[in-house]
């Protein structure tokens, strides 16, 4: 499958077959790395890594993935360039596109990563925005495939802030790939209705479903339960309000017991604030799969770079 030259801004832009291809490529690259085999598909390629927001997994995954394939990553923090401050995003994009072969962006506005893709002339990869986090979903889906052997038909329940970037991205990915996806959240934090409607259109092709509910009982039968921090970066001032709203939606032993299945797994995109969105006992009981998921950020991000920029 030829994805050369494509940007990776949101899973909306990719077909189910293309998403499956990226997951399978990541699986292959992971197996090779375990055997000590790295590649040179990015040899001679320079990659700009733009970070408005700090990062552990995203930065390390792009850096190691790029190095593994023979490329050179250059970290550009918020104080290193004038992106959107002294220089417009459009002009910065045109400069970086002349000097780099690919650009990763992790920051606030989806509009910024879209402008980088529009004006740079090189593949641009979304490492996270306030609206979307597509590379995380690839890692999550690789993890689900490792655990269950398939994606289609799985019941995935997201518990917590139902309108943040993780809820959005999981819903898009699940709708594309035929999962039965549930957002379990207080009504004031439900997902955008337009996005829900868009995902239900994807469901008509994939056979998946989207359910948005505030009832804890709807966790019953989940194959996987997923949560994220209650306050995303930049929302720290809302912490008190969020804690009060979301405390009933904490992933704890009581909630996990309501599922009624033996092999249900728990996933978290990390970092986790234990004692808030998830209790320590639940987190530690599922730590092996959570850190598989974290490791899979590297393999799936490497797959995106190799598929859209590499020589394969």
Q: Which of 6, 59, 101, 106 is catalytic?
A: 106
CA distances, 294 to each of 106, 135, 194, 205, 291 (Å): 17, 11, 30, 30, 5
Is there a binding annotation on residue 270?
A: yes
Is there a binding annotation on residue 250?
A: no
Q: Is 106 a catalytic residue?
A: yes
Residue for token digits 């689900």?
144
Is there a binding annotation on residue 136?
A: yes
Is there a binding annotation on residue 22?
A: no
Is there a binding annotation on residue 296?
A: no
Beta bridge partners of 181: 156, 210
Q: Which of 136, 161, 180, 286 is catalytic?
A: 136
Is there a binding annotation on residue 228?
A: yes
Is there a binding annotation on residue 98?
A: no
Q: Which of 199, 269, 286, 299 is catalytic?
A: 269
* Paired tokens of 252: 């704890």
Is there a binding annotation on residue 297?
A: yes
Is there a binding annotation on residue 248?
A: no
273 CB neighbour count, 10 Å cutoff: 12
Residue for token digits 């799985």?
154
Is there a binding annotation on residue 206?
A: no
Is there a binding annotation on residue 163?
A: no
Is there a binding annotation on residue 200?
A: no
Is there a binding annotation on residue 286?
A: no
50 contacts 125 by C-beta, under 8 angstroms: no
CA angle 44, 49, 52 (to 5 degrees): 170
Q: Is 299 a catalytic residue?
A: no
Is there a binding annotation on residue 199?
A: no
Is there a binding annotation on residue 209?
A: no
Q: Which of 6, 155, 268, 297 is catalytic?
A: 297
5 contacts 275 by C-beta, under 8 angstroms: no
Query: How many angstroms from the chain centroid is the CA of residue 11?
Result: 10
Q: Is 228 a catalytic residue?
A: yes
* Paired tokens of 222: 């989940």
Q: Which of 6, 133, 286, 299 is catalytic?
A: 133
Is there a binding annotation on residue 134?
A: yes
Distance (Å, rounded) from C-alpha 113 to C-alpha 105?
Answer: 6
Q: Which of 228, 231, 242, 299 is catalytic?
A: 228
Is there a binding annotation on residue 308?
A: no
User: Between helices 287-309 and 57-68, what is the axis angle to 10°?
Assistant: 50
Q: Is 136 a catalytic residue?
A: yes
Annotated binding site: 55-58, 82, 106, 133-136, 165, 228, 232-233, 269-270, 297
Annotated binding site for carbamoyl phosphate: 55-58, 82, 106, 133-136, 269-270, 297
Catalytic residues: 106, 133, 136, 228, 269, 297
Annotated binding site for L-ornithine: 165, 228, 232-233
């Amino acid at each position: 499958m030829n994805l050369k030259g494509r940007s990776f801004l949101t899973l909306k832009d990719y077909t189910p077959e293309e998403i499956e291809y990226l997951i399978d490529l990541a699986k292959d690259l992971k197996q090779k790395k375990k055997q000590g085999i790295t590649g040179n598909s990015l040899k001679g390629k320079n990659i700009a890594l733009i970070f408005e927001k700090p990062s552990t997994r995203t930065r390390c995954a792009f850096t190691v993935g790029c190095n593994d394939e023979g490329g050179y990553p250059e970290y550009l923090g918020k104080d290193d360039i004038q992106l959107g401050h002294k220089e417009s995003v459009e002009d910065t994009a045109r400069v970086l596109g002349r000097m780099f072969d690919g650009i990763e962006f992790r920051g606030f506005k989806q509009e910024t990563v879209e402008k980088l893709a529009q004006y740079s002339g090189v593949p641009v990869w979304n490492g996270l925005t306030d609206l979307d986090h597509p590379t995380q979903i690839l890692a999550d889906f690789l993890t689900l495939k490792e655990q269950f052997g398939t994606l289609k038909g799985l019941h995935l329940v997201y518990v917590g802030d139902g309108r943040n970037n993780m809820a959005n991205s999981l819903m898009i990915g699940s709708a594309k790939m035929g999962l039965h996806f549930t957002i379990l959240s207080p009504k004031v934090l439900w997902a955008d209705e337009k996005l829900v409607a868009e995902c239900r259109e994807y469901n008509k092709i994939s056979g998946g479903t989207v359910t948005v509910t505030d009832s804890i009982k709807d966790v019953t039968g989940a194959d996987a339960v997923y949560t994220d921090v209650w306050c995303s970066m930049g929302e720290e001032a809302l912490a008190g309000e969020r804690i009060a709203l979301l405390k009933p939606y904490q992933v704890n032993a009581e909630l996990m017991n309501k599922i009624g299945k033996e092999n249900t797994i728990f996933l978290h995109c990390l970092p986790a604030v234990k004692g808030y969105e998830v209790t320590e006992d639940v987190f530690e009981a599922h730590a092996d799969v959570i850190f598989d998921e974290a490791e899979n950020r590297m393999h799936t991000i490497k797959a995106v770079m190799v598929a859209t920029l590499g020589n394969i």
